[in-house]
Amino acid sequence: MLLKGRLLTDPTRAPRPGWLRIEGGRIVELGEGEPPGRARADLGGADRIICPGFIDAHLHIPQFDSVGLDGMELLEWLHKVIYPAERWFGAGAARGGTRLALRRMVTQGTLGFAGYLSSHGEASREAISVLEQVGVRCVVGRVAMDREAPEDLTSEDRTRAKMSPRPSPLAAPARGGRVEISANPRFAVACSEELLAEIGWLRKERPELIIQTHLAESKGECEKVAALFPAAKHYTDVYDRAGLLGPRTILAHCCHLTDEEWRLIAERGCVVAHCPTANLFLRSGVFDLSAAERHGVRVALGSDVAAGPDVAMPRVARAMIETAKWRSIAHGGATGVRVPAPAEVWSIITVGNAEALGWNDGGRLVVGAPADLLVLRVPETWMDEHLIGRLLHHWSAALIEARVIGGVALDPTTI
């Protein structure tokens, strides 16, 4: 397949006309100017933009139909909105729910993600088979949880704990395709010390295993964790004692951390998934980007649907800028509060998130990269050094003319 257009290889520069050729699901050739022999392009055109698809570092597949139920804080919202939705997912809605989530993601240009399924083994396996069928690159795991939630969400892990030999808390073994299976302890409130320790042992046996969990999202959650784990030094220590922290651990939110916790996260090399739209929707907290940077912690970006109401990653990236601007205003314009530039947040939702998930070949336009690409159609007058700022602030799925997943053009309405 041959694509022609302005190649967005570096978001700090206006994209230059070029072309790229895809074979076997990867970019095999790429160049500036006209393709060799002036070959006819299958997709794109002289005035189109070719860019890597977006990658979302944190979302929940069963929650796509639960967006916008406002007026609650995190713990109340989990009990009233999310746990019933996940119960529904486990009771026969997994295939349909996964298709709906994928349709919405791909429509908005998200062609890779890290996410959570539900706590049901069978429903998780069904969801994984849909993901494999569509061919989207992702890291997903069945949610592990054994307390502080309704019986039908916690019973699988509690029953499993009584079995001997105990089956794995993972939904399905890794198969080496485009779907990678992670371990997803929901958060410390919903996981007993024993369950966290079990996943910690699993990580010890398989250091390549990605761990996804939530950390210090809301104040109420932090208080609850302090009460449930009186022996822990702080919230981050709960996960560290269980052996859950390492370079392949993705910690979502991290709004309420002490310097000591930031230092520990930096020392373990974890990734923090900043979810600005979700933090605002549930009024959970204001992420401190400057603290993460001061401690040298890697920051990824997540939509966190359904706490985050927007699946479109350019709008999540824009919210990252806005969060930093609010912090800067609240601190009287203090120089210690850095506001990231549009090109920087664009890099996070492409190559940055790819690297955060361990996909060192993804999120970029280079030979050898997987062909997960977008063809954008934007007004000619946008093609200057402000292109990325314009894209972030004008974002709409209508700007996408075509989506290529693993080298194949995909129309999201067919998912």
> Least CB distance from residue 160 to Zn ion, whole Å?
23
- Cα(363)–Cα(272) distance, integer angstroms: 18
Whichever of 356 and 374 has its CB closer to Zn ion, that residue is 356
Whichever of 9 and 66 has its CB closer to Zn ion, that residue is 66
304 interacts with Zn ion by CB under 5 A:
yes
Piece of 67-75, 85-93, 301-309, 314-322 that binds Zn ion (CB under 5 A): 301-309
Cis peptide upstream of residue 342 (ω within 30 degrees of 0): no
> Least CB distance from residue 138 to Zn ion, whole Å?
15
Number of residues that bind Zn ion (CB under 5 A): 1
Whichever of 180 and 304 has its CB closer to Zn ion, that residue is 304
β-strands 2-7, 16-23: how paired? antiparallel
Whichever of 261 and 304 has its CB closer to Zn ion, that residue is 304
> Least CB distance from residue 185 to Zn ion, whole Å?
12
Supply 78's token pair.
């989990």
> Least CB distance from residue 211 to Zn ion, whole Å?
14
Q: x/- string (CB under 5 A) for Zn ion, residues 256-295?
A: ----------------------------------------
Whichever of 116 and 229 has its CB closer to Zn ion, that residue is 116
> Least CB distance from residue 49 to Zn ion, whole Å?
31
Q: Which residue is nearest to Zn ion (CB)?
A: 304
Whichever of 156 and 304 has its CB closer to Zn ion, that residue is 304
Piece of 64-72, 143-151, 303-311, 390-398 that binds Zn ion (CB under 5 A): 303-311
Binding site for Zn ion (CB under 5 A): 304
